[in-house]
Amino acid sequence: MFDLKSIRSLSGAMLLGCAALAWAAPADDMRKAVEFDDARTVQKLLGRGVDPNITDSRGNPVLVLALREKSLKAATELIKAKDIDFDKANPAGETPLMMAALQGELDMLKLMVDDMEAEVNKTGWTPLHYACTTGRNDVVKYLIDHAAYIDAESPTGTDAADDGRAWRPYRDREAATR
């Protein structure tokens, strides 16, 4: 009925299938931990060597997801991870700093910039552009105080002054000092 070759082939296929499931599990576990803002599970997974820069099926880094979904306890653990890449962007080009600026999460920005020394400037859209669209003056001020380029040009040719109401107090102050 079954020859030895068939049994070996079937065993090999089953072993590969189990290995694939085991490999996928940490990424799924991390995504779920972020979704439910489960900092303890995030910390355990990181301790087991799960990459803090993994992405979901749509290419979103888990830190960007955590910040977008306001899973701030999970985000804090990811930010403190040894090998976290603050420049890892989602398919739309949004980095963790940009997402924190967009969400108005000043404490998360401070953790990334002050404690983990993440860079506030980049080419293209920047955290400052995103902050200016929200009207969060505290976030805009923080970024400017940490050397964000106020004249960084976006892909559409605008700068932070063009991108929103939060910039107005700084633009007016700059004009008054001329």
User: pLDDT tens for residues 37-95?
Assistant: 999 999 999 999 999 999 999 999 999 999 999 999 999 999 999 999 999 999 999 99
Q: In this predicted structure, which of 32-36, 55-59, 153-157 has the lowest mean pLDDT?
A: 153-157
What pLDDT score does 147 carry? Answer: 95
Predicted confidence (pLDDT) at residue 101 exceeds the cutoff of 80: yes
Categorize the per-residue pLDDT at 168 as very low, low, confident or very high, splitting at 50, 70 and 90.
low
Dist. CA 154–CA 159, nearest whole Å: 6
What pLDDT score does 160 carry? Answer: 81
Predicted confidence (pLDDT) at residue 172 exceeds the cutoff of 90: no
Dist. CA 68–CA 105, nearest whole Å: 10
pLDDT digits (tens, 9 = 90+) for 5-21: 655 555 555 555 554 44
Dist. CA 42–CA 74, nearest whole Å: 6
Q: How far is CA 178 from CA 130, 137, 152, 173, in A?
A: 27, 22, 21, 9
Predicted confidence (pLDDT) at residue 36 exceeds the cutoff of 60: yes
pTM, rounded to two decimals: 0.79
Q: What is the mean pLDDT of the chain?
A: 85
Bigger pLDDT: 174 or 162?
162
Q: What domains, with CATH codes, occur in the chain?
A: 17-107 (1.25.40.20), 120-178 (1.25.40.20)
Dist. CA 78–CA 34, nearest whole Å: 9
Helix axes 39-47, 4-35, angle to 10 degrees: 140
Q: What percent of the chain has pLDDT over 90?
A: 66
Dist. CA 78–CA 5, nearest whole Å: 47
